[in-house]
Structure 1
């Protein structure tokens, strides 16, 4: 059992490494010398400047929650019984999108490393570790992503379309199979849920996502479990507690 759990931890680390590889990888024009990559970086730099001058306790332009507000809204240790909550390294949340094959799967591939098109204005993440009577083989992460007006709706619509068309894909050297819809919770303004099996360093890792929009913010939850893939789902109490805390912090309508 210990060896199997260690493989799950290693798989989770590989997912984080995938995020780093994506951030360091590049597509056309990503060297900043011109093309779409340079334009996108310029836009992000402009957004970062605007965010730096904004009141950290007020929604940014377009109704997007600031990073400070996302930190306030995100789960903290002690918020959910049975889980230890730790802050996710900022480097594990990817900003740049790297092409997936086939292209129809791009929104799914992007959200697997917590990025999107359009890009989020701000983001924060948490890693949760099961404790006590909970299954120690479960690896769970969540990210809050805030958007300008209309951006969060666009991301959910893109995911919904991709889930209907995508069955398997390759992304920065990793293969993902069995992409399919799961039952979404009736929370927030809208939600989607889906899953796949990721091939990571020779291991088959069942993975499932629940993505919920609340106003201009998206809460994306990822669960992985190599021992209980047939029953894998994001724990409902984690999703519900996070949505309650997010909505108490403020749900700007833009």
Structure 2
């Protein structure tokens, strides 16, 4: 595999590496509670702000471990897009929230007992002021349509292989939402990553499901979405 392909792969997988690093191989705990090596207790996820109090903690999603994400690490691994209109999608590949967020709280989830590396979900909650949340979702929706032919990620001045963009049916949850897939064909792998974006008031929740090994595609589990909406105090029924 050529270097640009490796860079493209890293751009697609960087946030999901949090799932591998944080979850380890923590035995068979079904709630990701306090038992087993690599497990995280609720006390290890302090809630200092109102937004942090709405973020998932161990025990919130049965069958999944929950760990704190690495917002600082995601910010350091910035990815650019070769097309200006596609930058909001490139930001998501770096684990960065849509522009304008006043606060961001990341979480990483993995099926309990799963051998690593494997599949997992990152959930990023971002709080916005004014109409920032509406603008953030609108920018992503515009990017998905404008980049239907795909784009190329650029890291450190090196351009990677094309990233495919595919709209998916929205879940019709929260005040506004969209769903799409991002993927690339490198080294014979065509696995895609599933993105679900839901706005509830001034908060934007971004769910990203992927298999770190690129062996298969991995959809965001409905149970993770439902649990997060409940923590936000949002309805879990579909909009008409």
- What are the equivalent positions in structure 2 for 1:1-254 lying under 5 Å apart? 14-16=13-15, 68-94=49-75, 99-116=80-97, 118-131=99-112, 137-166=118-147, 167-171=149-153, 172=155, 173-198=159-184, 205-225=191-211, 226-229=214-217, 232-247=218-233
CA shift, 1:200, in A, is: 7.8
Q: TM-score normalised to the size of structure 2?
A: 0.68
Change (3 A) 1:15 1:201: farther
Change (3 A) 1:145 1:100: same
The answer to which structure has the higher helix fraction is 1
Count of equivalent residues:
191
Return 5+ residue gaps in structure 2 as ranges.
1-8, 19-46, 235-240
The 1-side partners of 2:16 and 2:166 are apart by: 24
SS of equivalent to 2:82: coil
Verify the 8 A CA contact 1:198 1:207 in the aligned structure 2. Answer: no
Change (3 A) 1:143 1:135: same
In the other structure, the counterpart of 1:25 is none
Verify the 8 A CA contact 1:174 1:199 in the aligned structure 2. Answer: no
The 2-side partners of 1:83 and 1:220 are apart by: 18
Q: TM-score normalised to the size of structure 1?
A: 0.65
